[in-house]
Amino acid sequence: MIFNVLTLFPDMFKGILENSILKRAIEKKLITINLINIRDYTKDKHKNVDDYPYGGGCGMIMMVQPIYDAVKSIKNDKSIPVYYMGPKGNVYNQEIAIKMSKLREIILLCGHYEGIDERAYSIIDKEISIGDFVMTGGEIAAMAIIDSVSRLIPGVLPQDESFIEESFYKGLLEYPQYTRPREFMGMEVPEILLSGNHAEIAKWRRQKSIDITFHKRPDLLKKENLTDDDIEYINEKGYSFHKD
């Protein structure tokens, strides 16, 4: 998969290019991350990419021309979706990550300053936010998307199945995990995990996922396709929630 990142600060991405899972994925040619400096496409002799807003106001606005030309330099006649990292977009989640992971190539546009010229939206397919808070620019959001989408691409993780049990992949938060030692400062690994009974372990893990999700993110339970066993367990625990 190809990630084309339009940014004013390409050096910010050195960390994800040179470390851990993403570095190995790049070396194995499973993903490609192209960093495009928007400044390279400005027609301003001083390499400015921003200007004061018409009508007055605080801050600077990214100009439409450099953004437009940078996007067009990648797309040409190709149909590649453009995602803008902006505060007015849909909140990013695992469902969006899964849809993105099925694409061959995408463009991630990192906003900055007080935003972009409204006319730049003419070449943007979708605006995405990673949460209701303010950041300096869209680079960190783009990194989060690259990381979460890459994990879903076959071969990127050591075992293709390993992401399936992670929080949010199946809709619920992940169950508790334990490793050695068996006992630490009086805290012991639950006996069920040592039993070797895989059916009972799976049942325990599912129930613990329900417990954790109910207490930390009950909104996710409303969206989950619950089984009859899940509903029976929820009723036994006395959990109260209503499906949307």
Q: Is-contact 55 64, C-beta < 8 A?
A: no
230-239: Cβ within 8 A, 24+ apart: 230/206, 233/207, 234/210, 237/210, 237/211, 239/210, 239/214
63 in a labelled binding site: no
* 192 annotated to a ligand binding site: no
Find out whether 71 and 109 touch, Cβ atoms under 8 Å. yes
131 labelled ligand-binding: yes
134 is in an annotated binding site: yes
- Here the contacts of 201-205 (C-beta below 8 Å, separation 24 or greater) are 203/229, 204/175, 205/175
The answer to the question of whether 86 is labelled as a binding residue is no
Asked whether residue 143 is marked as a ligand-binding residue, the answer is no
Three-class SS of residue 105?
strand
Binding residues for S-adenosyl-L-methionine: 111, 130-135
Binding-site entries: 111, 130-135
